[in-house]
A and B are shown apart, each in its own frame.
Chain A
């Protein structure tokens, strides 16, 4: 069975139809990984549409919701197949300490996962030491994403970058920062490597770090 239909229906956010297509694929013996690959292709397309302002945060969130439901459907297959398979790389992301906003972070997570990256989500109000700990536990992670919604969290962003530097892990990773009040100036002044203007820019940066 051709999984192209799954990709097309997910891009169009045709929720019920895409579930039917997934169920049909499962019944036809398509592997979990193939269905996952088709779904990820759709997520990557939606990410591209987002970059062109043809899709929006709400669409990304809804696509993420559909994706979660697809994963639930194919989970038994993936377990039998030994998991999701290889990823393009790993990123650690979180909203910095003092800030509990999660939408921006979640959109970036959806976009990165949709593009085939593994994401370690540290959540919100994340203290600098938690980022350091995550880097120690994930020495293969080459990207850290800091999400910031409040201007009052700028100092906390700076502290996070400093803590990573103090831990000796700064050379291991590139740090990107994004969020409504963030600008090139904020990225530079807080010691980050890259200002991700939106989720698509975050994906492009992560791809460039991994050379994929």
Chain B
């Protein structure tokens, strides 16, 4: 008798949980981080999945149906949806169909100077005093085309922006939740992550000061930078825990950015990046939640530092680092994911991909604690046949 979708879901959940917890599952789980690629599989443009939440979510369902062997997937990895961002005129994204071509990916617009930054250098004290107050009263109006700061003359556009955005967020997250259910009932697939974290230094650099701003600030006003990361840390932890999986089955995700090798020195990493990230990760782990460290770029320099974290508290996702080195340094403490190069997925052939997957499974599968994925989040450059080959190879060789 064929397995029911619920049986399949339970089997995949068990497999995913075991791998995430350093145990040996029956099969290496395939957890593709697929963004615009899901739309490509479903036949939707980047513009469609970015603007229409139903299509964005439907693309993931179609991907789970069409690509074999997916155990867990992200309910929507094209995380900018204009139903939300355009409702209040969010300034800092460039999206397909508005500023970019239909098949380009949405992107963040980096401030060029202090004038363009959404937090000015003179705002540090106010931010440190109360980050929430700063976000609501200063940052939000600056990032919106319509919202006005308190004390300024009110406008209809401001009123409408608050109302429309409230409705849009409610609708969008209701759809997200429903789609998690649909993934389970229609495809037997686990929703791979719940709850999101960013390192306090990253959030300060990315969304408040910009890279240039933070690069200058660590020279010109280092103590303020440090205090700002400390002020924001509890909020990052709370935000993540509050939106995590209540059943504690799946991990939260942490998109790591400016701590990567090359952006800043080791001294800067140790002083500004690591202390609050460590604190927040431990707090989240204390609440029973694992964190996926999606280590964008290269992090070889800091692998040993991550060993300071409690065993199994993170799942290390390897992007540009040598995954064999990552396994050697971290493999006894933390599970790892990744391993299939994106240039192979974009330019190689299915046979290349299958060979790579087989090798990864042979080398990492027997120990447990390995989750199959590409190196970086997969976008529309990936050939669909190569993506399918990943899943097929995992089905073929993954039972260990």
Contact = CB atoms under 8 A, between A and B. Distances in A.
Contact of A152 (B112, B261, B320, B380): B380
A57 interface: yes
21 contacts: A56-B262, A56-B265, A57-B264, A58-B211, A58-B218, A59-B215, A61-B211, A61-B216, A98-B103, A100-B94, A150-B379, A151-B346, A151-B378, A154-B347, A155-B381, A180-B320, A185-B341, A186-B346, A189-B343, A189-B346, A189-B347
Contacts of A154: 346-347, 381
Contacts of B261: 53
Interface string A63-91: 00100000000000000000000000000
Given A180-B320, A181-B376, A13 B219 contact: yes
A123 to B, nearest CB: 11
B260 to A, nearest CB: 9
A186 B343 contact: yes
A102 interface: yes
Name the 10 nearest CB pairs between A and B, nearest first: A58-B215, A152-B379, A98-B104, A185-B343, A189-B347, A61-B215, A151-B381, A152-B105, A154-B381, A183-B343
Nearest to B220: A15
Interface in B90-127: 94, 100-101, 103-105, 107, 109-110, 112
B303 interface: no
B83 interface: no
Interface of A: 13, 15, 53, 55-59, 61-62, 65, 97-103, 125, 150-155, 180-181, 183, 185-186, 189, 198
B212 interface: yes
Interface residues of B, number: 41
Interface of B: 36, 46, 94, 100-101, 103-105, 107, 109-110, 112, 211-212, 214-216, 218-220, 261-265, 268, 296-297, 320, 341-344, 346-347, 376, 378-382
Contacts of B216: 61-62, 65
Contacts of B109: 100
Contacts of A150: 105, 107, 379
B263 to A, nearest CB: 5
Contact of A101 (B107, B347, B379): B107
B263 A101 contact: no
Contacts of A98: 100-101, 103-105
Given A62-B215, A103-B110, A151 B379 contact: yes
Contacts of A53: 261
A186 B215 contact: no
Given A57-B262, A151-B381, 14 more contacts: A13-B219, A15-B219, A53-B261, A56-B262, A56-B263, A56-B265, A59-B215, A62-B219, A152-B105, A180-B320, A183-B343, A185-B343, A186-B343, A186-B346
Given A15-B219, A102-B110, A151-B381, A58 B268 contact: yes
A58 B105 contact: no
A58 B341 contact: no
B376 A151 contact: yes
B346 A56 contact: no
A122 to B, nearest CB: 16
